[in-house]
Structure 1
Amino acid sequence: MFKTQFTKDFGVEFPIMQGGMMWISKKELVSAVSNAGGLGILSALTFETPDKLANEIEQTKKLTNKPFGVNLTFLPTLKPVNYDTYIEIVIQSGIKIVETAGANPANYIEKLKNNNVKIIHKCTSIRHALKAQSIGCDYVSIDGFECAGHPGEDDVTSLILIPRAKDELNIPVIASGGFGDARGFVAALSLGACAVNMGTRFMVTQEAPLHENIKQALLKAKETDTVLLERSLKNTLRAFKNTHALKVLELERQDANLEKLAPYLSGLNGKKMLEEGLIDNGLLACGQVIGLINDIPTTKELILNIIDQAKSIIQNQARLI
């Protein structure tokens, strides 16, 4: 059921991918997703050194014998990142699936491909997707405006981006941004995607390594409880609407520069918030799909429910013909 190019290429049971989320996409969640038949993705930069990433990869392998990948996000940071060393660790650890995001990964494509690593590049526009294809990426994950994290600056929704990407590209397309249940899953496949990528939905699962207070706050949230930040920096971020996020928004409206904003944008605030459960003490990337989440299942329950319900949806729709 639901065999696509994605399940064939990556050796997984279901065309469902877990997003590479900072501080969250760690061994507990990644192994659970992979064991449930999806594709788990570790977030490389969650680990402050390449050696710590190497250890997390090994620990994840002890928890699952199923395929999983590693996310590398190339974004402006206050602290420079030695991406070459992280990529060397990925290769040495035998990882064969890498999701890249942010800036153009062209400088790393050849090395990854020479080591038989399949590359999924996350894009927020058709022009970036075409560029990813031209430099040798194997897949594009197209990220609609609904998504958590960085939706780009064009503000185009998944409903438009997915079929546009399918029309323009010769490589497979993964639907990302706004997906969290069977209805979205079926819609994504209908629009031409070979899989869905879910981040926010996997945050609100039992295995996700974040404080219960945060999960409960997200459970109560609606689709209107996100806010767009960093627009003044041309680095738009969709985040959970909390006191911290609204403070950043207020500073931006006052034309605050990067120096003034930097203390509020630090990822360490978010890390502490997730660990201690202080919902208003940092920024938390969160998509509009939060409005569709009303339970905290295990990852296995989540994935199997999506697949079972998707089958029913398609069977019911077939009766309309």
Structure 2
Amino acid sequence: MRTRLTELLKIQYPIVQGGMQWVGRAELASAVSNAGGLGVLTALTQPTPEALGEEIDRCRRMTSRPFGVNLTVLPTSNPPRYDEYLDVILGRDVPVLETAGSELGAVIARAKAHGTTVIHKCTSVRHALSAQRQGVDAVSIDGFEAAGHPGEDDIGAFVLIRAAARKLDVPILASGGVADGAGMAAALVLGADGVNMGTRFCATREAPLHPNIKQALLAASERDTTLIFRTLRNTGRVLRNTVSEAVVALERRPQGAAFPELQPLVAGARGRAALESGAVDDGLVWASQSIGLIDDVPTCAELIERMVSECRSAILKCADVMNREVQQ
């Protein structure tokens, strides 16, 4: 499959594994890359820039194919050493940098000056156009179905992908709600050059998650996610569980909830512990509405090959319908 994205990233299939906190490690990233997609390490999963360097080296020992690193920059009172994380990424000559967050002009400029390919995650066309002006090579456009932070506009991928394709010149990755080849075919028809998947790759054998978490994703339907942080205008989509329901309940109070009240429930360390222990109700589990389309735990290679086959079949089926109509 050749698209602008496969040419840009030098990969076999236009499938990218999104950067995911606690999940984007060498085991998963290398498996996706070895299967023909682009695996992505998550920089801030590692406790220090030095640890990220070791993880990049470990990933290189596990794959000879291209992979990327996600660096998410968010305004916080005690920010990580973002510049040092970027130093490590560029110093290790990682070919692809996936950026997310705000105030990334300096990060993008440094990466581009180094010759690194930059993919920026956006939740709106206006933000994607801004990223394009800053010189990114591609944009990952996140629909409202997506896990993580899908923005505040509440625009589903079906409209958002098409709107982005009509206005952007750089390649587009469709993100949010894609879990199979039919979804990839739809994204390509809408004008995307590939797909970005997070939740679907969580339910693979190589994903560094407890089996109980993977089984919870399989058991859930498309109705089993919920939105947190709505009142803080930092909307996040997560699996519906005891913790996320408690967060929503606090936010729905007449007086709402300040972040310090929510912090004990949503702390990253608590979420990581739940993912590793398999205690599904003990912390946040980030998940997209694509959980309604997940019903097995294949290897990354099995998943990607199946998706490509399904995608081709879906496109050929549409072509056959059109040909039969013309013949009539």
**Range into which the TM-score falls when normalised by the shorter chain:** over 0.9
Map residues 185-204 of structure 1 onto 2, 5 A cutoff: 185-204=184-203
CA displacement 1:15-46 (0-9 Å, x = unmatched): 00001010001000000000000000000000
Runs of 4+ in 1 over 4 A off after TM superposition: none
CA displacement 1:32-69 (0-9 Å, x = unmatched): 00000000000000001000000000000000000000
Q: Secondary structure at the match of 2:316?
A: helix
Q: Secondary structure at the match of 2:141?
A: strand
> How many correspondences in the alignment?
320
Q: Secondary structure at the match of 2:282?
A: coil
**1:286, 1:262 → 2: CA distance?**
19
Counterpart of 1:263, as a letter, is: P
TM-score of the superposed pair, with normalisation by structure 2: 0.96
Higher mean C-alpha deviation, range 70-79 or range 31-40:
70-79
Name the structure 2 match of 1:224.
223
Higher mean C-alpha deviation, range 41-50 or range 101-110:
101-110
Map residues 151-190 of structure 1 onto 2, 5 A cutoff: 151-190=150-189
Residue 76 of structure 1 deviates from its aligned partner by: 3.9
Aligned CA distance change for structure 1 residues 222 and 318 (closer, same or farther; 3 Å): same
**1:77, 1:187 → 2: CA distance?**
37
Q: Secondary structure at the match of 1:90?
A: helix
**2:195, 2:77 → 1: CA distance?**
31
**2:314, 2:75 → 1: CA distance?**
42
Q: Secondary structure at the match of 2:280?
A: coil
CA displacement 1:140-173 (0-9 Å, x = unmatched): 1000000000000000001011111111111111
Residue 78 of structure 1 deviates from its aligned partner by: 6.0
**1:291, 1:104 → 2: CA distance?**
34
Residue 104 of structure 1 deviates from its aligned partner by: 3.1
Q: Secondary structure at the match of 1:233?
A: coil
Pairwise CA RMSD: 0.9
Counterpart of 1:317, as a letter, is: C
**1:171, 1:217 → 2: CA distance?**
37
Matched, 1:309 2:310: yes
**2:182, 2:74 → 1: CA distance?**
32
CA displacement 1:270-314 (0-9 Å, x = unmatched): 100011011001111100000000000000000000111211222
CA displacement 1:54-100 (0-9 Å, x = unmatched): 00000000000000000011224464111100000001111120001
Q: Secondary structure at the match of 2:173?
A: strand
Name the structure 2 match of 1:292.
293
Higher mean C-alpha deviation, range 147-156 or range 128-137:
128-137
Name the structure 1 match of 2:326.
none
Map residues 251-270 of structure 1 onto 2, 5 A cutoff: 251-254=250-253, 255-270=256-271
TM-score of the superposed pair, with normalisation by structure 1: 0.98
Percentage of identical aligned residues: 49
Identify unmatched segments of 5+ residues in structure 2: 323-328
Name the structure 1 match of 2:105.
106
Name the structure 2 match of 1:86.
85
Identify unmatched segments of 5+ residues in structure 1: none
**2:166, 2:301 → 1: CA distance?**
33
Q: Secondary structure at the match of 2:103?
A: coil
**1:239, 1:319 → 2: CA distance?**
39
Aligned CA distance change for structure 1 residues 26 and 78 (closer, same or farther; 3 Å): farther
Q: Secondary structure at the match of 1:280?
A: helix
